[in-house]
Structure 1
């Protein structure tokens, strides 16, 4: 049976892809920087390949004997370099399929850095000669976890989302869709746009968190400048803060404002809604948010 290499395997989506594939009995190799942390996240049965995108030799070694690659390349100033080098290494290693996690709005030349980077990597993948499937994810519900500290401390979270209507998706559904593609004969050249089941605002997110936590949680819309300043104060690098604000601007402009049936097509079930996520479907929520002395479960 073909081995799948999962990059970003200890992360929010990658760890779930590993679990989904293991549940299907598919051999998985997890590409990770910190084996100790990865073992704690993935469990002791996972095959780990220690490495870093910045070390091409470690990528080539991890690809040895691999037939399929799930590529997650996190936002980084060198994201395009890392992504394209890994695709080239996969082509040289004879990998038979690459499935890449991208984002809605990806387009080479976009003024939004995140969208431009993903778009450029997509273009390179399509020209690589390796059969490829692109998964463009909507804004993930788990992004709320970046505000866990203010929710715990002040029952509020502050974002420059305005009243943007967003087809938010649970990362578990992204992982399930990815595992479906990686474990079946999905034709190369396809692009799937993954969204949640409905278009919601962060006001609705706050309402669902309030219900789950048993106390009022308030969403506070803040101007871009205030959001950037807050991230800078929290130690977020200036380039990243700038691009997060730009991405929220795109959300306000409607980039994620419609739903698709791609999750249902790939997984044969409906995607999860925000209520399911808030009520404890996400282990990360249980870690990040607490109601009195009881974790959300």
Structure 2
């Protein structure tokens, strides 16, 4: 069966790059070539499959005209959420409107666990707004959508430990069910391939669905630090902070207020119990159990 044309954004990044490589390995000689949408063509990975070399098109999220050109002929789109920015939701809306105008039939979007207008993690509110725009686009144009609501990335947790071996933040004794980026990519491909080989009329098995993608266990940051130390051999311990201490310890980076608030709210969302969901969606979609933090660390 011939696969409808698939495009992938963020292919120079961690998740998009994994998805692009997995798709290239799955496409056959009778399938259309994969298309990679990037902001900088020089950073696009060079991928070849039996379907031929991947196409590369430049399409910044905030450039609707470029996106419409880049998405011409695309049926199924994997959209990695844009870089953190004050206008990220506006960029997403511009890009999604361009996708609908170009005739894309199904968008698979990387959202965030607990996306809601009042989520403690401030950037999860951006994801909720984007999901709402996807739903509105569906009602207006028939473009189907699937949201992959990723938890915090387990691959990123070691980087939260400072050079002094301390993981600081106002997370209290809250827990986080962090997900492996490999599992997110596997789940994305498990949604994209049926979407591309099934009906493109919005009736596919994953259309209109939101999947919580998490690890197999919810850990406190004490347990995260202990796992990092035990597996990597580097010193690591968790030191809870107050809100005032958290903002003060991050002020030295010179980041804008909205970004510092986002960083701090990662921890307060853990404290509030909004990131401790343990979902079976990874295994249900991929057929394999979700990877633990220890497994991620041992593979890195």
Bin the TM-score by the shorter chain.
Answer: 0.7 to 0.9
Where 1:64 maps in the other structure, the secondary structure is coil
What is the alpha-carbon distance in structure 1 between the residues aligned to residue 158 and residue 222 of structure 2? 15
Structure 1 position 128, deviation (Å): 0.9
Consecutive unaligned residues of structure 1, counting only runs of 5 or more, are 283-297
The structural deviation recorded for 1:180 is: 0.8
Q: Distance in 1 between matches of 2:144 and 2:108?
A: 9
Offset from partner CA, 1:53-83 (integer Å, 9 cap, x none): 1222221122122111111223321111111
Q: How many residues align?
A: 276
Q: Given the two structures, how large is their TM-score scaled by the length of structure 2? A: 0.84
Q: Which runs of 5+ in 2 are unaligned?
A: 196-204
Return the alpha-carbon distance in structure 1 between the equivalents of residues 166 and 114 of structure 2.
Answer: 29
- How many angstroms apart in 1 are the aligned matches of 2:191 and 2:276? 25
Partner of 1:169, secondary structure, is coil
Per-residue CA shift, 1:249-279, capped at 9, x if unaligned? 1221111212111001110110000101111
Q: Deviations over 1:158-210 (max 9, x none)?
A: 23322221111111111110111000143311111111111112222222221
TM alignment of 1:102-181, pairs within 5 A:
102-108=111-117, 110=119, 112-129=121-138, 130-147=143-160, 150=162, 153-181=163-191
| Aligned 8 A contact 1:73 1:82 in 2 | no
Whether the 8 Å contact between 2:63 and 2:94 is mirrored in structure 1 is no
**Shift of residue 234 of structure 1?**
2.0
Partner of 2:20: 18
CA contact (8 A) 1:231 1:241 kept: yes
Question: What is the TM-score when the length of structure 1 is the normalising length?
Answer: 0.85
Q: Could you tell me which residue of structure 2 aligns to residue 55 of structure 1?
A: 63
- SS state of the match for residue 116, structure 1? helix
Q: Which moved more, 1:232-241 or 1:12-21?
A: 232-241
Change (3 A) 1:147 1:249: closer
